[in-house]
Structure 1
Amino acid sequence: MKFIKYFLIFFLFAACGSLKKNKTAYFTTSEKVEKDMNFLASDELEGRDTGTGGIEAAATFIENVFESNKVKPFFDSFKDSLSNYEKPDYNIVGYLKGRDKELSKEFIIIGAHYDHIGIENASRGDSIANGANDNASGTTAVLEIAKYFSSAKSNKRSILFVLFSAEEKGLLGSEHLAKRLKNQNLDLYVMLNFEMIGVPMVDKDYLLYLSGYERSNMAATINLMAGEELIGFLPKAKEFSLFQRSDNFPFHKVFNLPAQTFSSFDFTNFDYYHKPGDEVELMDFDHMVKVINKMIPAIEEIANTEERVIKYN
């Protein structure tokens, strides 16, 4: 049955001319990625803890990127104030309307959390948890993807580019926004979340793994769209229940639609999770650029297919 399902997906894309093999495209560069990362993971932002001046500075940076690239606010402003956190804090939500009259009523969310854990008590040395991999890397990916689509204007479906706050406090930002959008009857198709993509995996023949891999046909569909084994299955992601531990999960709960996270943190390739050593100097910008440049064509396909091809199993 699984073979038949994948064959039908392949046939769909081949029939409509959507499947493109061996895509090599350069939508962003390591220099652009490094520039974003150097600011978002700088000591100046003091670890981007929720409700602090550091995350406020990060929010302003994100808003400026959206404004300079003509990404519009989805609400009255880019700031989506959290209703479930005791300090003033907010998600940042950018919006690109789709170019098709009917498909533009459907939405894709491209997300990542931009908060981190702030300043840690340390017995010696650095106490700022800069959060380069977690999750300035995912934030940078969302910003670079937004820059591409704002320039290309190629998306038939509408796209929300969302940077979540309070992920480290228990997925509060995504929980708030999922409920808000559901109350507004947003017609959500799929939610794609980026988490810790700053370093490549070790001894893997795929670039990223997908949380909740077995729950949907998302990985298989994206691999067909990319023309290569871009997304794989990481057993430890299932073992450690990562599907429930990132900002995709509230959208899964509220909308019951495909909402999953892409990552390259495989528990062997990075020693500074939630530690002050999570510094920008340890990031592999060539790897990040490869992730972004290979994901953009797949996202473009997702935004443009006439039918909703990504579904839960």
Structure 2
Amino acid sequence: MKNIIGLAILSIALGCGAAKIDESVGLAKGTNGSGAVANDVEVVHGSEGVSSVISDFSTEKRVGGIISYLASDDLKGRETGSEGIEMAAEYIETIFKSNGVDPYFKSYRDTLSNFEKPAYNLVGYIEGTDEHLKNEFVIIGAHYDHIGSADPVAGDNIANGANDNASGTTAVLEFARYFGKFKNNKRSVIFALFSGEEKGLLGSKHLAKKLKDRNLDLYTMLNFEMVGVPLVGKDYFMYVTGYEESNLADICNTYAQEKLVGFLPTAKEYNLFKRSDNYPFHLEFGVPSQTFCTFDFTNFDHYHKVGDEVAIMDFEHMALLVNKTLPVLEDIINAPVGEIEYK
């Protein structure tokens, strides 16, 4: 999340280390790391095929494999325009391709027009199944870049960016895997992984303008940012920025049949609505474009620091977030009439 250095964040204990990278590469190829195709979903089939009843689609092992690669030292903090983020881009392309997600443009790579070095958003696409609704789009996004390096601690200066935002990227890749597997989306879906967020929301600004110039019919843009550790002491699972701007939280909670999304006063205080990749889509399209997050300024003390390591990510929480959110995304994408709107 851009430009929140200096905000009040309480400290938590941290460890060191990361899961094996070769296991995550196996997962990227659609396996469970041992060569066997993973089968992590329980569904109920009704009159329209696969229903919204999803159990354990995502697992700790799967999300752990993905985030452990994206936030590994080999990628050197994924700074925009670097060799490390190029490795991340290749990895994301592999996951898209192996899970039936097509490129939205001629390739998955959307070259940024507002950055001096070669830099790319990764943009995947699954066409909707409904003859009419497929002309409307839902964008599901996260930024996959980070800052590269930070003040050294014990000789380590790599800002791995596990929570910020390999966690959000991991969630989006799991969402893409689900819809790529079942192709049960009536509206068309774009999965956008942005570069240049840490440089000033450059990737999302570029893509939002590009899609607006193409007259894309956007229903809503749903962004995922810093979802690697759970909220503490809240009566909701995650919050959404710009909570009071739209009815998105109410719609999500209705679909989820629980209080999945809540209001975090601190998010309003620091105007987080304008600090992540949802905001350029809000500006360009004027439709509900908001960010889901579980970073609340008290549960993570490593923002833009070398301590943002995989070892302090909660894989169980991340898998649960994916599994809780998937039925909600499915209902949003397949609603006969768009229900999410600004107030």
Give TM-score scaled by structure 1 length: 0.92
1:192 aligns with 2:233: no
Give the letter for the 1:54 counterpart. G
Matched, 1:91 2:89: no
Alignment partner of 1:148 is 2:178: yes
Tell me the alpha carbon deviations over residues 209-231 of structure 1, each in whole angstroms, 9 at most, x when there is no partner.
00000000000000000000000
1:205 offset after TM fit, Å? Answer: 1.1
Contact 1:178 1:254 in 2 (8 A): yes
* Conserved 8 A contact 2:75-2:88: yes
Question: What's the CA shift string for 1:60-119, capped at 9, x where partnerless?
Answer: 000000011110000010000000011110100000000011100000000000000002
Instruction: Structure 1: state its 5+ residue gaps.
Output: 1-16
**Could you say which residue in structure 2 is the equivalent of 1:202?**
232
Q: Deviations over 1:20-69 (max 9, x none)?
A: xx966221111100000110000000000000000000000000000111
Which of these residues, 104, 123, 130, is aligned with residue 74 of structure 1? 104
Secondary structure of the residue aligned to 1:83 is coil
Give 1:135's aligned residue: 165
CA contact (8 A) 1:23 1:226 kept: no
Alignment of 1:198-237 (within 5 A): 198-237=228-267
Give the aligned partner of residue 39 of structure 1. Answer: 69
- Separation in 2, partners of 1:200, 1:248: 21
Partner residue in 1 for 2:303: 273
8 Å Cα contact 1:45/1:57 also seen in 2: yes
2:58/2:320 contact within 8 Å kept: no
Out of 282, 285, 288, the position equivalent to 1:252 is 282
Matches for 1:154-173 after TM superposition, within 5 Å: 154-173=184-203
How large is the RMSD of aligned CA atoms in angstroms? 1.4
Q: Deviations over 1:154-183 (max 9, x none)?
A: 100000000000000000000000000000
The counterpart of 1:293, out of the listed 318, 323, 332, is: 323
Q: Could you say what secondary structure the match of 2:149 adopts?
A: coil
| Cα contact 1:41–1:136 (8 A) shared by 2 | yes
Structure 2: stretches of 5+ with no match in the other structure: 1-46
The answer to whether the Cα contact below 8 Å between 1:108 and 1:191 also exists between their aligned partners in 2 is yes
Instruction: State how far apart, in whole Å, the 2-side matches of 1:160 and 1:23 are.
Output: 23
Please give the per-residue CA displacement for 1:236-279, whole angstroms capped at 9, x wherever unaligned.
00000100000000000000000000000000000100000000
Residues in 2 aligned to 1:109 and 1:204: alpha-carbon distance in whole angstroms = 28
Residue 191 of structure 2 aligns to a residue whose secondary structure is strand
CA distance in 1, matches of 2:262, 2:298: 16
Shift of 1:122: 2.1
Which one has the bigger helix percentage?
1
Find 1:125's aligned residue among 155, 165, 171.
155
CA contact (8 A) 2:151 2:305 kept: no
What is the aligned residue count? 294
What is the aligned-residue identity percentage? Answer: 60
